[in-house]
Amino acid sequence: MVRGPGHTTDFWSGVGAELRRGSEAAAGRRAGLEHALRDAVRAGRLAPGTRLPATRRLATELGISRGTAKAAYDQLVAEGYLTARQGSGTEVAPLPSDTVSPAVGDARARAPRFDLRPGSPDVGAFPAAAWLRSMRRAIATAPSLAYDYGDPRGRIELRTALSGYLGRARGVLAPPERIVITSGYVQGLALLTRVLDGGAVAMEDPGMPFHRDVVRRNGGTVVPVRVDGRGACVEDLVAPAAVVVTPAHQYPTGVPLHPERRRALTDWARRHGGLIVEDDYDGEFRYDRQPLGALQGMAPNHVVYLGTASKTLGPALRLGWMVLPPHLVDAVADAKLHSDHHTESMGQLALAEMITSHAYDRHVRACRLRYRRRRDQLLDLLGPGRDVRGIAAGLHALIEVPDEDGVLARAEAEGLAVGRLGDHWHVPGAPGASYDGRPQGLVIGYGTPRQRAYPETLEVLGKVLDGAAGATGATGER
């Protein structure tokens, strides 16, 4: 057994198998074992304090001599990667911080103790049993050609299932021949930008900074379009090739696109031949009334509808879809072909099975109830004295605060990570800089924490906000 700090795991279920592969791949058994161990320690896969197996067991498992195993341990003890004490065995030594791989260090920094960052669902609620059943059924009935290279537009089974689902759940006009399956929203946005061949793309301000980077890296020019209490300001549009909007639940302000703005936006597209890109990232989650229908249903020949399973199931599946106007289907499919040929097929078949069996609908309904309870808990914590936006839908809320930097400093001191509204402007507000009258706020991702961690995470948020209220003399009720 390997005994690490606070836990015990079977050595060969994880790192041991990696060491075996590394020792077999390198030239010489002793050198291979040293190389695999050294890399595992440097990368942080073997944490400081982890106890390694005795040389006798290690030799038996790897099929090498005990002398070879002992020589490898002795070498790494001499180099400072391991420590060995009589009667205590061999352990991974504490290492200077610059010895650990930067990528691993970054990953650890991105794992705060209390996490209310926006952009993720509760991945602990992934319906593993339902997914496994769907995968088994899909594989049992899949034709042999499903394991070959496929249509860059995606498996017909999933496109057909999505055609029905999007029509009844989101009001999208989605014939299967107009759907292209992608590896998530980001790939869809990248493919579309390439097809537009460097044209100007209007994007909401504030909006998702990473999405702006995606457009720029794929040859597009980003221009801002203001967002107010009624959504994107359509009157700001001059002559972009396309405009990207989040009409069901604007990110990060949370406002829906007002009906008059919806009509104005589709009228603009018809008059100018412009393209609307509809990001429907959490359209299924609306709590106080029926979900708003997708904008695409109003102008299917002028709107590209982008959706994913990232918020309903989990980002790791990398399953997204584009519903395209007829004139863009071939160009986008060709761009997809030359990007990665096609999205992996087994996940597509499993999702198709999950949709057609209605297991997907049941899961979405259960998630909607769970996230509504979380939303209500957040509102109970905040009380009526807080200015909170975007609470009618989605997985995040915007809490306006008078001093963004001060609140974030208190949150960091408590080990709490939240989103910062200042980071979402096209010209971000640098810490300590003037905001020129722009609102300041926290973007709270209440979908992110695991269920068991949510109550304590809310308590920490309340403590941070109470500190902010005390610092400014505010008296909002709790």
d(C-alpha 23, C-alpha 62), whole Å? 8
Report yes or no on whether pTM surpasses 0.85.
no
d(C-alpha 203, C-alpha 277), whole Å? 10
- Count H helices, E strands: the chain? 15, 17
Identical fold, 114-123+364-472 and 128-360: no
Q: How many residues comprise the chain?
A: 478
Alpha helices in 218-357 (DSSP H): 259-272, 329-340, 345-356
pLDDT by 10s per residue, the chain, length 478: 444 443 334 443 344 544 554 444 444 678 888 888 888 888 778 888 888 998 888 888 888 888 888 888 988 887 788 888 777 789 888 866 544 444 444 444 457 889 999 999 999 999 999 999 999 999 999 999 999 999 999 999 999 999 999 999 999 999 999 999 999 999 999 999 999 987 899 999 999 999 999 999 999 999 999 999 999 999 999 888 899 999 999 999 999 999 999 999 999 999 999 999 999 988 889 998 777 789 999 999 999 999 999 999 999 999 999 999 999 999 999 999 999 999 999 999 999 999 999 999 999 999 999 999 999 999 999 998 788 999 999 999 999 998 898 999 999 999 999 999 999 999 865 444 434 557 889 999 999 999 999 999 999 999 999 876 655 444 444 3
Spell out the CATH class of 128-360: alpha beta
Hey, where are the domains in the chain?
Answer: 2-104, 114-123+364-472, 128-360
Spell out the CATH class of 2-104: mainly alpha
Which residues are CB-neighbours of 148 under 8 A, at least 6 positions away? none
User: Residue type at 49?
Assistant: G
Report cis status (omega within 30 of 0) of the bond before 252.
yes
- CATH pick for 114-123+364-472 out of 3.40.50.800, 1.10.730.10, 3.40.50.920, 3.90.1150.10: 3.90.1150.10
Report cis status (omega within 30 of 0) of the bond before 94.
no
